[in-house]
Structure 1
Amino acid sequence: MKDIARQLMSIKVESMDMLNAQIQMEGKASASYLAMASWCDQHAYLQSAEFFYHQASEERSHMMKIFKFINDCGGNAMSPEITQINHDFSSLEEIFETALSQEVEVTKAINRIVAASKKNNDYAVENFLQWFVKEQLEEEKTMRDILDLFEIMGRDGIALKLIDERIKVE
């Protein structure tokens, strides 16, 4: 039965492998956002902490969406092993720079999977990933908009508190 099920999957093996790597990436992003939330909590950036707790939850939901999709297609989703999460940050701005960098890497990974699914005529995967393409545009824009606040308002003293107060969970 296992061999027949593998032959009758509605997902190509290459796509499944790439999506499993994406599960790993989304899981690591979730854990990274938890570390950022903790740092913000410790430094009394309460709005930013709430923002990153929400981001952690959102990344986990992205991971689960991919996980379920693979299994629904007859594939084998793999639970991620998350290691090497940075907990050491020097500033609120560094955290948001790190978050933007992380989102850009996720976007690149999603785009690679879309390109491969197009090349392999894996239409279900290509269609499934369109939501993620749009989501990544929003995620990157959010981080860029927040980083713009540092340019506009400053990087120390009351400016940091005012920036934190402008960070909202969407």
Structure 2
Amino acid sequence: MITKKLQEAINGQIAVELWSANLYLSMSFYFEKEGYSGFSAWMKRQSQEETEHACAMAHYLIKRGGEATVDKIDVVPSGWGTPLEVFEHSYKHECHISKLIDDLVSAASAEKDNATQDFLWSFVREQVEEEATAQGIIDKIKKAGDAGIFFIDSQLGQRK
């Protein structure tokens, strides 16, 4: 059985994951409008992944005898800048999510809930990858410059 405190904390993270899904969907729509179909597809897949995270957390709560809820999801930004600026925003957002996940692990530790700690460690590992991926894309965009941006757009469009 999961504690009420952890249930509330994980439900809070579910809302954050769904907000993140909307954030990346907004970025996808922006890229599509701007003619970057590869970046758009990459962000759309990122949005789907965030929704999958929320669902995994909900499933975990239910498995542990808790109740999963979907709280109010705030509006996300809709105006973006250059591809570089969008991915820099994405990187900063992933760093923020990493901090929130770390806080959840700490809360599970304080509650002496080893099962929840174990469950959350997969998200800790995921965040390491998310930050590295976003930073890698930023580095490629900077190196490619204006001339190579459509090559990178094409590469990211191949994401499965």
Partner of 1:5: none
1:131 Cα deviation (Å)? 0.9
For 1:37, what is the secondary structure of its paired residue? helix
1:56 is matched with 47
Q: Give the 3-state SS of the residue equivalent to 1:64 in structure 2.
A: helix
Q: CA deviation at 1:28?
A: 0.3
Whether 2:69 is the aligned partner of 1:91: answer no
State the Cα RMSD in Å: 1.2
How many Å separate the matches in 1 of 2:46 and 2:144? 24
- Which residue, 3, 8, 12 being the options, matches 1:21? 12
Query: Which secondary structure state, in structure 2, belongs to the residue aligned with residue 11 of structure 1?
Result: coil
Provide the rounded CA distance (Å) in 2 between the counterparts of 1:79 and 1:139: 24
User: Aligned pairs, how many?
Assistant: 159
Instruction: Give the conservation status (yes or no) of the 8 Å contact 2:11–2:58.
Output: yes
One-letter amino acid of the structure 1 residue matched with residue 135 of structure 2? R
Pair 1:120-2:137 in alignment: no
The one-letter code of the counterpart of 1:164 is D
Once residues 16 and 53 of structure 1 are traced to their aligned partners in structure 2, the CA distance between those partners, rounded to angstroms, is 29
**Residue range with higher mean Cα deviation, 23-32 or 80-89:** 80-89
- The structural deviation recorded for 1:163 is 2.4
The Cα of 1:17 is off from its aligned counterpart by: 1.1
Asked if 2 retains the 8 angstrom alpha-carbon contact of 1:11 and 1:124, the reply is no
Larger radius of gyration: 1
1:122, CA displacement in angstroms? 0.9
- TM-score norm. by structure 1 comes to 0.89
1:13 Cα deviation from its structure 2 partner: 1.5
Shift of 1:12: 1.5
**Structure 1 gap ranges (5+):** 1-9
Answer yes or no: is 1:169 the counterpart of 2:156: no
SS at match of 1:96: helix
The share of aligned pairs that are identical, in percent, is 27
Determine whether 1:133 maps to 2:124: yes
| Deviations 1:131-159 (CA, angstroms, capped at 9, x unpaired) | 111111111111000000122112x3x33
| TM-score normalised by L of structure 2 | 0.94
Unpaired runs of 5+ residues, structure 2, are none
Q: Which runs of 4+ in 1 moved over 4 A?
A: none
Q: How far, CA to CA, are the matches of 2:71 and 2:138 in structure 1?
A: 30
3-state SS, counterpart of residue 33 of structure 1: helix
**In the alignment, what sits opposite 1:109?**
100
Mapped partners of 1:18, 1:146: distance in 2: 31
